[in-house]
Structure 1
Amino acid sequence: MRYFIGTTAGVALVGGICVALAIPAASRPPAHRAAAHAPAKASQASGSCPVAGIDPEANQPLAEWKEPGVSTCRPRMVNGYPVPDATCTPGAINPTLTLAVLQNPKFRTGLCVRDNATSPGQKDKTYRWYGIPKPAHNTGQTQTCEKDHLISLELGGADTLANIWPQCGPSKTVLRKRYFKQKDLVENFLADQVREGAIPLADAQQGVASDWTQYIDAATAYYARHAATRRHPSDQ
């Protein structure tokens, strides 16, 4: 995730929206247990991680997963935004990234988990699975795709391929309006809500994995109302 401070014009939703977005228990997808995953070991992610007890390779997919074949994955559009193929990218959590860890002000995804379980080169395989050419000059204002953690690392997502997909486009719009920047807004919003106790961590993980677009309006309104006072979570 990267910083996203832009807001969408015309949002003025009524107060109480943060409470309304919690997913009703009856409609939440059941929690899945990984059938054949060894218990996560408690280890220091790296010498630079200031938080103990994190296993950066811990991986618990939300559904049974195996590596997809080339061009076998198809994203779909929901509410005008792409969501990944659930068979190819069901989402996965790192169970050692507990609420206490995520609430720890010393925790930083870049220092503690990012690119530990999978390298950037390994993540590139997801482009082939989705039949998307890896874009050249994919940085800054020319960035059109992001190798996105479906459940973001700051929401306890795993840095594994069951949780990563290439989120691309639309290219003919300003950077802050591209799909991955809109999802960044959602991820930052949910991370704020989880740390503050407004949404249970498991609910946020399941919700963003099943349909991240359901939070767009709430996230946009939240940051429109709190733009002057909220510090967006850092990925450093």
Structure 2
Amino acid sequence: MISPSRRARTSSICLGLLVVAAMATGCGSSGSSSTASAGVVTHASPSLAAGSGSTVGGASGAPGGVVTVPASGHVSGVYPARCRAVDGGQRPDPTCTPGAVQDAVTQATIGSTICRHGWTATVRAPESETTKVKKAAMIAYGEPASTSSTTELDHFVPLELGGSNDVRNLWPEPSDEPGRGVGNSKDEVENHLNAAVCRGQVGLVAAQQAIAADWTTAEQTLGVAR
């Protein structure tokens, strides 16, 4: 049995991390019920905690830039206690969400990964995890629960460009297209850049860096504007 004082300390730690996916010790049903609603421990190992990972990009304003992490079909990592979107909510906090990509997706493997029809479905995290992640992300970003129906848990560097399910690549993106639910104009940019990479118009890393630096100008930056 967890003592009251130990339970209080455990609850405080869990709430401060705002973490997501259900493998916690002391942060699940054996602990405080209010802790479970804030989020639970992810599939991440300590080496995948926010701030670690090898740098592959130089996203504008992002400490360390885009990072490379092991490929996984599960959510990994932890959110900092507080994040703030920038540019009127168009882009995520560069400290919380700098972008993360899978190590299995490289220029040499695009033919068997992002350029193969249906591949993203094989690496997308299950809804049982992303539903919890979205709630934790909205709490971390200070987004009210009432906006959930028009907020997407977005892969900042999209799966179509080798993006990861690590929380450094997941943020609560508000829709900028009224009437489309969680639909967002960023979706069209992602599809266009995937096509450009698969046609050989631009390199994979260049596309990853450009969308993480500023998705609103990525196409122009890469010279593939529609």
Indicate the RMSD between aligned Cα atoms, in angstroms: 3.6
TM-superposed CA distance for 1:181, in Å, is 1.8
Alignment pair present for 1:89 and 2:97: yes
**1:64-213 maps to which residues of 2 (within 5 A)?**
67-69=79-81, 72-77=82-87, 82-98=90-106, 99-102=110-113, 104-110=115-121, 112-115=122-125, 119-120=129-130, 121-135=132-146, 138=149, 144-170=150-176, 173-175=178-180, 180-213=183-216
Contact 1:148 1:165 in 2 (8 A): yes
Q: For the structure 1 residues 215 and 151, does the alpha-carbon distance in structure 2 shift closer, same or farther, using more than 3 Å as the test?
A: same
The share of aligned pairs that are identical, in percent, is 30
Which is bigger in relative contact order (C-alpha 8 A, separation at least 6)? 1
Aligned length: 161
TM-score normalised to structure 2 length: 0.59
Q: SS of the counterpart of 2:217?
A: helix
TM-score normalised to structure 1 length: 0.56
TM-superposed CA distance for 1:29, in Å, is 2.5
The answer for unaligned runs of 5 or more in structure 1 is 1-27, 41-53, 60-64, 139-143, 223-236
**1:8-19 maps to which residues of 2 (within 5 A)?**
none
Q: SS of the counterpart of 2:184?
A: helix
Question: Distance between the aligned counterparts of 2:67 and 2:118, measured in 1?
Answer: 26
Point out 4+ residue stretches in structure 1 off by more than 4 angstroms: 30-35, 216-221
TM-superposed CA distance for 1:209, in Å, is 0.9
Deviates further, 128-137 or 185-194: 128-137
Question: Distance between the aligned counterparts of 1:82 and 1:212, measured in 2?
Answer: 9
Question: Distance between the aligned counterparts of 1:194 and 1:183, measured in 2?
Answer: 17
